[in-house]
Structure 1
Amino acid sequence: MAALDQLQVFQSMNSSPHARLLRSAALGDGLGAAQWSNHHDCRDYQAPSHHTLSCYLAGGTGTFRRDQPHSKGGPDKLCILPAGHESAWVINGEIQLAHLYVSQEQFALGAVRLLDREPRELQLRERTFLDDPLQASLFRRLTRLDWDEPGERLLTSSLAHQLLDRALLSQVRRRDGLRLTGGLAPAQRRRLREYIDSHLAEPLSLGQLAALCALSEYHFARMFQLSFGLPPHRYLLNQRLARAQVLLRQSALPLGEIALACGFASASHFSNRFRQAFAATPGQYRSAFAG
């Protein structure tokens, strides 16, 4: 994910003389969080490249969209702002809110993992002032954590994933008038997922994966990205890191053994990749979830 200050929704808020950034954190894994206060303001969002989940923490009863002036916000109200949407907001009075920013790549991974669907088939429903007590509770738990403390930032990341999973399971719909071309067939997609998940400890080449679909490497790579939302090597790395997270949380295996079990050449290679993805070492991650 791009740095937070390059995200359009974050930029729009940060450029306002009335809004104040209370705190923010890049959580790794294509996720970022921010907490804001604002008052007597107008904000426009213009086709952001990322998804935004928003929860009002306090105030907001004078907040509305310009095209929906009779619908007002309030504490625990949620807004779902998909990538590519456009919206204009009027803020009367005081408001505090939390944002979760989600990369399209992370959305794609969730679509494949949770829903067994091509990301191209799906879109996040744009929702304004949604009532979802579970999602609001997750947001409030997220805002009670210290994002600057490494262990609590990792717990924040875990809650952020739960928020995204909730949105994927309850706030996603199939795109209207969709005609998909050029991707992998559902059976091929499932075969690849199962093969990759059962061979994470082994070196996997593009040629091996392409052979499972009886395709040339060139055509396979293009079709894989269409169907999975990211290139094969990025998907494979994500799955290896996800397996490592599970082993760090649920086992006492030494880091070297976890590295080998997840297909990394060495503990140092594993640690470097893990730190790049999650802004924390494997040891810090394990400590955050201990007990």
Structure 2
Amino acid sequence: MHSVGRTLAEADATLERFAWLGDRLAAAVWRRVTVEEETTYDKPGHHTLSCYLDGGYRTERQKLPGQYGAPQRLCALPGDHESRWWVRGQMHFMHLYFLPEHFTRRAVQELDREPRELTLADRTYFEDARIAALCRGLAAAPWDGPDDRLRANETAHEILSLLLRAQAVRRDDATIKGGLAPAMRRRLVDYIDANLSRTPTLGELAELACLSEFHFSRMFRASFGMPPSAWIALQRLDRARTLLRTTTLPVDRIAADCGYADASHFGHRFRAAVGAAPLAYRRALNADRAMANLDID
């Protein structure tokens, strides 16, 4: 997934740390020292958010001469972008790698927008204090243990939500055809959420949309970027995260509320997506809250 990382490795950048954070998110910390070198990125196929941790004062993008990097400056590089860079001096930076699908779900849930309209903007050396602080915190935090990765996963998702709001743009080729109307999308999202514990069927959702199962499946995928089963699976995970974070409900109750067959099924699915068991996830969040309270006191 991280072909930007492969480009850096071929350019003799040093990979200090790398981790898969769950949910197909990945993070890396790089260091690079060079007198002057050209680096080229050619449609890497995944989005990249870059945050400078140190240095970069003489690094510039060729189409933007005279604009240079610096600590806390950010670059958003969409998966289909092409760019050439002059790299000079010392750089220490963090990358967060993610897929276009990470924006798809958020566009519907958080912005109530047609997801095919939006993509990550191509931005060089922009400033956003909140995103930069989260990136620097993520780069400084441990990623090795399951609890560490869970905290990193939470931070990465927060960064993506902020990035969607601040750096999403309408696609140039966004001719929307064949999908569901906005009102129907909202109706389906609300219906799935209200019936998540019992798993709505394809026929049930198709009837709600007044379509055949075949046409509904195609139009749902066109609008949401994934089939209904994948969307429902993501909604289950999101609700489970929320309940683990905000309640003390036992795992078997959360499993039932989220539509899993039983606690074992829930644990298997949650671990596969997030990287740790539900109770480990809850412990990690509780530990973070306890530390935050100590800092306040």
* Short-chain TM bin: over 0.9
Ranges of 4+ aligned residues in structure 1 off by more than 4 Å? none
Structure 2 residue 54 is the aligned partner of structure 1 residue 58: yes
Q: Distance in 1 between matches of 2:115 and 2:98?
A: 14
**Partners of 1:29 and 1:106 within 8 A in 2:** no
**Partners of 2:178 and 2:219 within 8 A in 1:** yes
Q: Secondary structure at the match of 1:201?
A: helix
**Partners of 2:180 and 2:223 within 8 A in 1:** yes
| 129, 135, 138: which one aligns with 1:133 | 129
**Partners of 2:52 and 2:93 within 8 A in 1:** yes
Residue in 2 aligned with 1:15? 10
**Partners of 2:50 and 2:76 within 8 A in 1:** yes
Structure 2 residue 94 is the aligned partner of structure 1 residue 98: yes
**Partners of 1:66 and 1:88 within 8 A in 2:** yes
Tell me the amino acid that sits aligned with residue 135 of structure 2: F
Q: Secondary structure at the match of 2:66?
A: coil
Q: Secondary structure at the match of 1:271?
A: helix
| 71, 77, 87: which one aligns with 1:75 | 71
Q: Distance in 1 between matches of 2:238 and 2:84?
A: 37
Q: Distance in 2 between matches of 1:147 and 1:99?
A: 14
| 15, 27, 30: which one aligns with 2:21 | 27
Shift of 1:177: 5.7
Structure 2 residue 256 is the aligned partner of structure 1 residue 229: no
Tell me the amino acid that sits aligned with residue 53 of structure 1: L
Q: Distance in 1 between matches of 2:194 and 2:162?
A: 27
Residue in 1 aligned with 2:157? 161
Q: Distance in 2 between matches of 1:44 and 1:150?
A: 35
Tell me the amino acid that sits aligned with residue 190 of structure 1: R
Q: Distance in 2 between matches of 1:242 and 1:264?
A: 13
Partner deviation per Cα, 1:100-131 (whole Å, 9 max, x = no partner): 11111111111111111121111211100101
Aligned residues: 285
- Aligned-residue CA RMSD (Å): 1.2
Q: Secondary structure at the match of 2:210?
A: coil
Residue in 2 aligned with 1:278? 274
Q: Secondary structure at the match of 2:196?
A: coil
Q: Distance in 2 between matches of 1:176 and 1:93?
A: 36
Shift of 1:175: 2.3
What is the TM-score of this pair, normalised by structure 1?
0.95
What is the TM-score of this pair, normalised by structure 2?
0.93
Q: Percent identity?
A: 47
Q: Distance in 2 between matches of 1:234 and 1:89?
A: 38
Tell me the amino acid that sits aligned with residue 259 of structure 1: A
Residue in 2 aligned with 1:261? 257
Shift of 1:203: 2.4
Partner deviation per Cα, 1:58-93 (whole Å, 9 max, x = no partner): 000011112222111111110010110111112100
Q: Distance in 1 between matches of 2:176 and 2:79?
A: 20
Tell me the amino acid that sits aligned with residue 234 of structure 1: A
Q: Distance in 2 between matches of 1:86 and 1:39?
A: 23
How do 1:242-253 residues align onto structure 2 when only pairs under 5 Å count?
242-253=238-249
Partner deviation per Cα, 1:150-200 (whole Å, 9 max, x = no partner): 212111111111111111111112223632100000011000000011111
